[in-house]
Chains A and B, each alone.
Chain A
């Protein structure tokens, strides 16, 4: 069974640009989560989507946004990039709708903002 997939694997952008990261969950999983892992800060929760709706949001500014598509894949958009947005962005999926809340992570997208 294929795991969570993310694209691209690496990305380099400059300050002020916009970026879109993509995630495909494990087949059958309806919940998708986004986390940021910046150097020295640990993993921080960004967003949770389930059945196409945003269910919860972490303490991040509105320039971090996303959506979930009918096939349960998701994208994370970051506008007006800042240097401190450089991080590993991890997507996870779960079977929350079936009462199973273990989250499984994809390999991540490493974003560098110059």
Chain B
């Protein structure tokens, strides 16, 4: 079983739609959780950290369920510029400071 598993995708949705990504992680000792986006042949860029209480940043909402070891990302009113690969990322925990990346989900927003 992979340490971090994401929806396989790809997702193709029309502009303005709401998109939800899900992710599960296997290491219950994990302490920090993130969503990154990566454009083609570019570096990953931090989209948002994910907190236990859930957090929102504009059109983006992230949720964490520690009991189920489940992370989600919701994008509302999607824009063409949201087209990218979204990476679910977990910090390995135990002070290891090792980010473990999911395989990513490719999102394409269509006009």
Binding site for B on A (CB under 8 A): 31, 33, 35, 42-43, 45, 48, 50, 55-56, 58, 88, 90, 92, 94, 96, 101-108
Contact = CB atoms under 8 A, between A and B. Distances in A.
- Chain A to chain B: the 7 pairs with minimum beta-carbon distance, closest first: A105-B43, A43-B101, A45-B98, A48-B97, A42-B103, A101-B32, A56-B96
B34 interface: yes
B101 A104 contact: no
B98 A56 contact: yes
Of B42, B45, B97, chain A has the most CB atoms within 10 Å of the CB of B97
A56 B44 contact: no
Nearest to B100: A45
Contacts of B42: 107
Contacts of B44: 43, 90, 105
A102 B98 contact: no
Contacts of B17: none
Query: Majority SS of interface residues in chain A?
Result: strand
Contacts of B45: 105
Interface residues of B, number: 20
A45 B104 contact: no
A88 to B, nearest CB: 8
A88 B38 CA distance: 13
B41 to A, nearest CB: 8
A108 B98 CA distance: 18
Contacts of B96: 56
14 contacts: A42-B102, A42-B103, A43-B99, A43-B101, A56-B97, A92-B99, A101-B91, A102-B34, A104-B46, A105-B45, A106-B43, A107-B42, A107-B43, A108-B43
A42 B86 CA distance: 12
Contacts of B102: 42
B98 A48 contact: yes
A55 B97 contact: yes
